[in-house]
Amino acid sequence: MNPFTWQSALFLAPSIILLFFFSYWPLLQDVWLSFYSWNMISPTMKFVGLQNYLQVLSSSEMIKVLFNTALYIIVLVVINFIVPYLLSFIMTHRINKFSFFYRSALFIPSTISLAVASILFLWIFNPLAGPLNILLSGIGLESPRWFKESGLVIVVIGLIIGWKVFGYNLILLTAAMVDVPKELIEAARLENASNWQLFRRIIIPMTSSTALYVFVITVVFGLQYVLVPVNMLTQGGPDQGSTNLVYIVYQYGFVFFQIGKASAFAILTMLLYAFFLTVKTKVLDKMVHYEN
């Protein structure tokens, strides 16, 4: 029986049309725009060919942007992937009391908007008047200027994203943890396996499918969420210390009104993501253990 009949085509049609108009058509337009120099309102668009790409690749900003993006990825993966992974293991297999309380308490911040969280954290980290400063001065240290030091600003913004994303990732990983058959764990305990061996030999392979998903969304969505706190608190500063591939597209497009360069950055970002996805498919997917 031919599975592909005109009926199935009709059912698929609305989604394909929407996907085309809202995802693929803008992508093609973006490629086209990247060959022009335009400020979005002037009636004349100047064709500049590959000049935007050349300028973008040879600018001193590009290195900083790539470095920052790598740093963001490391911070986001540590705070939003590794820590929830370990924490969910502890919560499901080591602690038996209050686990419901922990789950709810850690999930509630995810429901608060990122803009609100940014303002909250600005107040908490205020180097002269904030609660964190009071704690630090209590032990005799002076609070660093969190939002004005190049490395620290990325960590603080990573924490703000963590406020939002941590709880969600924790719930997902906990669900995966709970799925691990208890017999395996009990069998391992009978053979005196240590916690670390338990984690590495049983837990990681059994939860690897969910873990891969959480890893990918932490990186991809984390980098996009970063736009909100950066736009509200630092605008890419200090001295482009908190900008990344996603923010630089916004900055060139909507702060400098240079849509050509912004599109060039966007296309380069997309190529980088495509590369990341290829690595994921070829390497990580093979390492994942699926139930069936």
Given the rule CB under 8 A, which residues bind another protein?
A: 37, 39-42, 122-123, 125-130, 142, 145, 147-149, 233-241, 251, 254-258
Is the distance from CB of 181 to CB of 269 less than 8 angstroms? no
Handedness of CA 56, 58, 62, 64 (dihedral sign): negative
- Whose Cβ is closer to another protein: residue 169's or residue 240's? 240
DSSP secondary-structure letter at 235? T
Of the candidates 274, 267, 272, 247, the residue with the CA atom closest to the CA atom of residue 34? 267
- Residue among 38 and 168 whose Cβ is closer to another protein: 38
Spatial distance between the Cα atoms of 128 and 30, rounded to a whole number of angstroms: 44
Q: Which residue has the tokens 């691990």?
A: 180
**How far apart are CB 127 and another protein at their closest, in Å?**
6
CB of 253 to another protein, least distance (A): 10
Toward another protein, which CB reaches closer, 222 or 253?
253
In the complex, the smallest distance separating the C-beta of residue 9 from another protein, rounded to whole angstroms, is 18
Up-side HSE of residue 186: CA atoms within 13 Å toward CB? 3
Give the shortest CB-202-to-another protein separation in angstroms.
43
Based on CB atoms, which residue is closest to another protein, 167 or 236?
236
Nearer to another protein, 93 or 261 (CB): 261
Residue 115 or residue 178: which is nearer to another protein going by CB? 115
**Smallest separation (angstroms) from another protein to the CB of 44:** 12
Q: Please tell me the distance from the alpha carbon of residue 290 to that of residue 287, in angstroms, as a whole number.
A: 10
Three-state DSSP state, 37: strand
Q: What is the DSSP letter of 46?
A: E
CA distances from 261 to 31, 43, 267 (A): 11, 18, 10
Provide, rounded to whole angstroms, the least separation between the CB of residue 224 and another protein: 19
CA distance 139 to 3: 70
Task: Give the nearest distance from C-beta 144 to another protein in angstroms.
Answer: 10
Q: What is the DSSP letter of 143?
A: P
Phi-psi region of 48 (alpha: psi -120 to 50; beta: other; left: phi over 0): alpha
Closer by beta carbon to another protein, 84 or else 241: 241
